[in-house]
Amino acid sequence: MKTRRSTQKDLPEKAEVEEPAKPAQTSKPKKGDKKSKRKKEKGNSSLQRSAPDPLANKAFPMIAVIDEQIRTTIPPELVERVKKAKSKKHIISEVYPYKRMMNKEDYEKEIALLQIELVKMQTWVQHSGERIVIIFEGRDAAGKGGTIKRFVENLNPRGARIVALAKPTETERGQWYFQRYATQLPTKGEIVFLDRSWYNRVGVEHVMGFCTPHEYLEFMRQAPEFERMLVRSGIRLFKFWFSVSREEQLRRFMSRARDPIKQWKLSPMDVESLGRWDEYTRAKEAMLFYTDTADSPWHVVRSDDKKRARLSSIKFLLSSIPYDGRDHRLVQGYDPQVVGSAKDIYELGENQPHPLPEDSES
């Protein structure tokens, strides 16, 4: 009996030892686990973007449109070269003076300093009553919009305007062609950034047949005179042409078509331009021949590397304006291989190949 009582007495104590629930692990997950989780989430996100549901297909139809245009109008070897690009940082074009995109950290440091210079320049414009017009033209997906954004990012919006006009209304079609642009010109102390300009007439309107041959030729006669009047009235006029290689343009179009956030940047007219590379090249050459004048010269910006294009175009502008407190060492260091005159910079397939110096970077 003693043994039995002793055993019964010990039972609860024994149960407490053998049957407690195992506490939950509180140790932090390993770094590798977090990385794996992030990679998995990123993969799922990419999958969602590349394979949208039927509803998304209706909302973002540009993937099919781009694919069809590429299949029917783009040389297969060009498509293959774009698909085989090593990485996003690798520059595909064989004539671009650098092989890799600019380092992001170096770019961010330099753009921050240049934006301070732009604020100085705007202050001088406001105090002196200067008027500045900056035209941004170029092929679709050449990087004009992103460059304009960096120009104005820290400027006072009361004295710096972006003008991006839609297609003309019926009333505007009945006016003198330059009339709706003339109403957008700056007053004293103001800077106007034209995201596309009156040069639509010799670009998309001419190539796509939206203007008559007479209207096109009349523009070529009037544009130099119109710009000469602007300059003689005291307006400082700058004209930038953003030049992108066919390979890089195709890569950007394919990227935008598959990204729902960026699809708004593409229109059926933009996609149509993919198959009209040669026509747009001839239109550009004619434009430069007639409108690159001493009063209002064109400045060509190679934009396969957007970072270099932004820095060099900002530096070029700042070096051309005599504002107070200018950091000469900073603003005069624009890259002549990236921005230069229309007579100096050509792209592959244009009138004259531009003799590039040996690449200093690998």
- Other beta carbons within 10 Å of 197: 22
Give which of 6, 97, 47, 51 is closest to 301, Cα–Cα. 97
Which whole number is the average pLDDT over 202-222?
96
The C-alpha atoms of residue 340 and residue 344 are separated, in whole angstroms, by: 6
Name the pLDDT band for 362 (thresholds 50, 70, 90).
very low
Ramachandran angles phi, psi of 227, nearest 5°: -70, -35
* Single-letter amino acid, residue 122: Q
Side by side, the strands of the sheet bearing 160-163 are 160-163, 190-195, 131-138, 235-243, 298-302, 339-341
pLDDT greater than 70 at residue 361? no
Question: What letter does residue 40 receive in the DSSP assignment?
Answer: H
**Where residue 90 falls among pLDDT bands split at 50, 70, 90?**
very high
- Domain residue ranges of the chain, discontinuous segments joined by +: 104-341
Identify whether the C-beta of residue 204 lies closer than 8 Å to the C-beta of residue 210: yes
Q: Which residue has the higher pLDDT, 260 or 130?
A: 130
**Residues in the chain, overall count:** 362
Per-residue pLDDT, averaged over 76-105, amounts to 92
Would strands 298-302 and 190-195 be described as parallel, antiparallel, or unpaired?
Answer: unpaired
Q: Which two tokens stand for residue 296?
A: 């209002």
Q: What is the pLDDT of residues 327-337, one digit of tens each?
A: 999 998 899 99
- Cα distance between residue 117 and residue 132, in whole Å: 16
Which pLDDT band, with edges at 50, 70 and 90, does 67 fall under?
confident
pTM confidence score? 0.80
DSSP assignment of 185-202, as one string?
Answer: ---TTEEEEEES-GGGGT
Query: What is the pLDDT at residue 332?
Result: 85
Predicted confidence at residue 269, as pLDDT, reads 78
pLDDT above 70 as % of the chain: 78
Dihedral in degrees, nearest 10, Cα atoms 261, 267, 271, 273: -130
pLDDT of residue 63: 74
Torsion of CA 220, 222, 223, 227, to 10 degrees: 150
pLDDT over 90 (residue 345): no
- 187 pLDDT above the threshold of 60: yes
Judged against a pLDDT cut of 90, whether residue 242 lies above it is answered with yes
CB 188 within 8 A of CB 128: no
* pLDDT (0 to 100) of residue 153: 97
Distance separating alpha carbons of residues 248 and 95, to the nearest angstrom = 12
Q: Give me the mean pLDDT over the 238-245 stretch.
A: 97
- What is the spatial distance between Cα 171 and Cα 280, in angstroms, rounded to a whole number? 28
Q: Does domain 104-341 have CATH number 2.40.30.20?
A: no
- 3-class state of residue 304 by DSSP: coil
Q: Strands 235-243, 131-138: parallel, antiparallel or unpaired by DSSP? A: parallel
CB 116 within 8 A of CB 127: no
Q: What is the pLDDT of residues 17-48, one digit of tens each?
A: 444 455 455 455 555 555 555 544 444 443 34
pLDDT mean over 106-128 = 98
